[in-house]
Amino acid sequence: MSEKRFASNASIALIYRDRAQSYRRFVGQYLRYVFSSGFALLLGGLGMAGWYYYSGWIRAFPADFPLAWLALAALGPIWAFCPQRGYLQRADLVFLLPMEDRMPQYFRPMLIGGTVRQSIAVLVVWLLLYPLDRLYEAERGYDVNVLFFAAAAVVFLALKTTLYWGAFKERRIRSERVRRVFQLVRWGLAFVWGYTFVALAHSWWVLLVAGTAVLYMILLRLPARDFVHWERWVRLEQAAMSRTYTFLNAFVDLPRDEEKALPARSWLGFLGDGLPLRRERAYEYLYIKTLMRSDLLGLLFRQCLVFAALETLSTSLWLKVGLLAAGVVMTGAQLKALEREHVRVHWVHVYPLPEEWRMTAAVSVIRRAHAVCVLVLGLPLWWADAAPAAPLAAWVAGLGFVWLSSWRFAVRRR
């Protein structure tokens, strides 16, 4: 009996491994398109430029640098961000639901693999932060040695594991509102831990994190929860696949037939609503709404934010301009994926609208969204110590690039 049970548990874990492997195979077959597009080169260039800038910065580390805020910005997200791929599908509501009691075995590879991968990310961030912390503490007369590095790494990994398990338990909470509160608590804790790591004496910090982590784990036991919240796992999987498609679609044209549960983003609902009820504006309306609700918007927002932050932090005007250019190229590449939306949708062949209107509308929406990205990416140049002509010129050049690339894109697609 026990042997049979063991075999069943092993097979349910195998389902997870098979699905994870299929996903890796699916993404893997398109990676060559991603790399051949110059994306890897761009990432490599950015990495090298970042490293060059970082090592130069360490050498001239300003004594009054607010390291606590940097620790908050670097450690907070890496602790709080706990992606978990369950690969659960709608059909599992029929086929796996009867085996619910064995689902912990299904999730085990995810939990172990996820903890290991994310712990490595924490260690990388700590490795980058450590030299700065050492300089910062030395300024204040404290000696920070390798033993401290190792001890801190152990605590950091314990905190990561706590939040990772917390995120897993969050997914079981029945009420959506309560789950959101716990999500907020997880992010809040991570930011507080990051900031206080530098701001507090180490002994006090250890007490604080130990106390709050225990309290967090106790609080997580309180809300009503399901053994497995199936619907939520399915929704999360759909969202994750949707993000994968959005990313890959920027480099290769992928068919996409699955149904998506997209966020309403009602705060952006006004976009497009002012368009007149005219046939020639119908596709424009469709593409504005698509951009507004797609993963692409989040992706663009994050890209703009990262590049704008890097521009703000960099001291050289040329580096700022280089980052601006990289940001403009990357956001443009991502935006092109918008045109591939609705190409295979049944309805565009049923509506009484000519196909060429679809293309024109898509390019027009892409152009306007890209122009907004250029304006946002150029903003940090305005508060740099440079003549006003420089940011103005950057904006004009960026908008010129947008116009030219959208024109070339439209010509190629025709």
Partner 1 sequence: MRAILELENVTGGYSVGRPVLHGVSFSMKPGEMVGLIGLNGAGKSTTLKHILGLLTAHEGTIRVGGVTLQDDPGVYRSSYAYVPESPLLYDELNVSEHLRLTAMAYGVGNEAFEERTKRLYKAFQMEDKQRAMPGHLSKGMRQKVMIMNAFLSEPPLYLIDEPFLGLDPLGIRSLLERMVEMKRAGAGILMSSHILSTLETYCDRYIVLHRGRVRAQGELRAIAESAGLPDGRLEEVFFRLVQEEGSS
Residues that bind partner 1 (CB under 8 A): 259-264, 266, 269, 273, 275, 277-279, 281-282, 285-286, 289-290, 292-294, 341-342, 345-347, 349-354
Can you tell me which residue has the tokens 């002012």? 274
Size (the chain), residues: 414
Among 308, 303, 290, 326, smallest CA distance to 247 is for 303
Our CB check for partner 1 shows the closer of 133 and 237 to be 237
Helix (H, G, I), strand (E, B) or coil at 344: coil
Q: Is 43 exposed, middle or buried (0-12, 13-18, 19+ CB in 10 A)?
A: middle
Which CB sits closer to partner 1, 289 or 320? 289
- Decide whether 133 or 284 has the Cβ nearer to partner 1: 284
Smaller CB separation from partner 1, 108 or 293: 293
Residue closer to partner 1 (CB basis): 224 or 264: 264
State the nearest-atom distance from the C-beta of 252 to partner 1, in Å. Answer: 21
Residue 138 DSSP SS3: helix
Q: How far is the first Cα of the chain from the last one, in angstroms, to the nearest whole number? A: 65
CA-based R_g, the chain, Å: 24
How far is the C-alpha of 12 from the C-alpha of 103, rounded, in Å? 8
Q: Report the nearest approach of partner 1 to the CB of residue 354 (Å).
A: 7
Question: Residue 173 pairs with which residues in a beta bridge?
Answer: 225
Q: Please report how close the Cβ of residue 178 comes to partner 1 at its closest, in angstroms.
A: 19
Calpha distance 310→196 (Å, rounded): 24
Smallest separation (angstroms) from partner 1 to the CB of 60: 49
Q: How far apart are CB 177 and partner 1 at their closest, in Å?
A: 16
- Burial of 259: CB neighbours in 10 Å, binned 0-12, 13-18, 19+: exposed
Q: Which residues of 56-71 are buried (b: 16+ CB within 10 A; e: fewer)?
A: eeeeeeeeeeebbebb
Identify which of residues 253 and 258 has a Cβ nearer to partner 1 in the complex.
258
**What one-character DSSP code corresponds to residue 252?**
S
CA atoms of 10 and 14, how far apart (whole Å): 6
- Residue 149 or 351: the one with the smaller Cβ distance to partner 1 is 351
